[in-house]
Amino acid sequence: MARVIVNVMLKPEILDPQGQAIAGACERLGFTGISQVRQGKRFEVEVDGEPDEQTMTDIRQIAQTLLANPVIEDFEVHVH
Amino acid sequence: MARVIVNVMLKPEILDPQGQAIAGACERLGFTGISQVRQGKRFEVEVDGEPDEQTMTDIRQIAQTLLANPVIEDFEVHVH
């Protein structure tokens, strides 16, 4: 059993109002020194056995079709 | 400028219907060998300068109060 992580974040050029709201709240609460916050999604995918090349290809395919919207989001896949 | 990552995941004992729906979809689409999917949140926090101990303490405080619900979620903070 192994765990593969898929991180999905908005592309840098896409505005992130949720992240902006969090950054604004940090400042109002007195936490200085934070210039930007971006919010994304993290998926923990448990696979049977050790992940081989085929498994990683499958998970990249799943990320592209189910987990991320490639028009506005980038994703990154790695073994935990 | 440095980037600190905050990962927020549901505690293991909390049911994750979104993750279950994704795992079910993977199976229906023919991707076998995936036993579980859990969905969480990932925050990228940009801080001015190199993150020192005070910055990390601040970000842990922000994670606990703004980013995670500690009743049902665990979080983890690390420098990118």
Tens of pLDDT, residues B20-38: 999 999 999 999 889 999 9
Helix (H, G, I), strand (E, B) or coil at B71: coil
Of A34, A42, A67, the CB nearest to B47: A34
Residue B52 CA to its chain's centroid (Å):
22
Q: Which parts of chain A sit beneath pLDDT 50?
A: none
Residue A25 has what pLDDT?
A: 95
Residue B34 has what pLDDT?
A: 93
Name the domain count of chain A.
Answer: 1
* Chain A residues whose beta carbon lies within 8 Å of the beta carbon of residue B45: 34, 36-37
Check CB contact under 8 Å for B43 and A47: no
CATH number at residue B71: 3.30.1280.10
Q: Which of these, A7, A2, A3, A1, lies nearest to A63 by C-alpha position?
A: A7
In the block, tokens 């979809």 appear at B25
Domain residues for the domain of A59 are 2-79
Check CB contact under 8 Å for B46 and A35: yes
User: How does residue B1 score in pLDDT terms, banded at 50, 70 and 90?
Assistant: confident
Determine contact, residues A62/A70, Cβ cutoff 8 Å: no
- How much of chain A exceeds pLDDT 70, in percent? 100
Q: Report the distance separating Cα B62 and Cα B75, nearest Å.
A: 11
Give me the interface pTM, i.e. the ipTM.
0.92
